[in-house]
């Protein structure tokens, strides 16, 4: 069997047409291509899962370590699940959720800057805002 032609759709799914020795098409196989948006969202989901194993809480506003682990696991699971299923309405929902999270991170920056001036929370808080904003943008682009 040889590969004679392929068509690339706008959603980055590549359909390969396989032909036998007589030139008759035998099958179509859809292959999902890992683009930068999918790679960033997968990396973010893995990062959420890794945060579960940190010994100290990574967020200042969540006092319960169990609640924080549950939140991180759910965030990673939601991203991973929709990366596998690719449901467009969920991408819009995630974009709204992470936009609210980015806004809360930015507004929390001013409060945290006053409360924890001794610690180096300024860079961490702005990084959290930027990361949440990037996730929101990627989810909106996936929609």
54-91 pLDDT tens trace: 777 666 666 677 888 888 899 899 999 988 888 889 99
What 3-state DSSP class applies to 13? strand
The structural domains of the chain, with segments of one domain joined by +, span 2-32, 36-142
Phi, psi angle pair for 56, to nearest 5° = -110, 155
Q: Which of 47, 63, 60 is nearest to 119 (CA)?
A: 60
Give the tokens for residue 15.
């359909």
Give the chain's largest Cα–Cα span. Answer: 75
Q: Which of 12, 6, 10, 11 is nearest to 28 (CA)?
A: 6
Which tens digit of pLDDT belongs to each residue from 43-59? 999 988 988 887 776 66
């Amino acid at each position: 069997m040889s590969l004679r032609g392929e068509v690339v759709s706008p959603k980055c799914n590549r359909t390969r047409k396989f032909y036998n020795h007589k030139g008759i098409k035998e099958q179509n196989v859809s292959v999902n291509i890992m683009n930068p948006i999918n790679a960033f969202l997968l990396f973010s989901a893995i990062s959420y899962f890794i945060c579960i194993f940190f010994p100290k809480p990574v967020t200042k506003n969540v006092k319960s370590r169990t609640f924080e682990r549950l939140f991180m696991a759910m965030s990673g699971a939601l991203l991973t699940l929709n990366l596998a299923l690719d449901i467009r309405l969920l991408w819009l929902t995630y974009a709204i959720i992470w936009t609210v999270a980015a806004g809360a991170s930015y507004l929390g920056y001013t409060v945290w800057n006053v409360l924890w001036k001794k610690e180096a929370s300024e860079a961490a808080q702005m990084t959290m805002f930027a990361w949440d904003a990037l996730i929101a943008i990627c989810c909106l682009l996936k929609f």
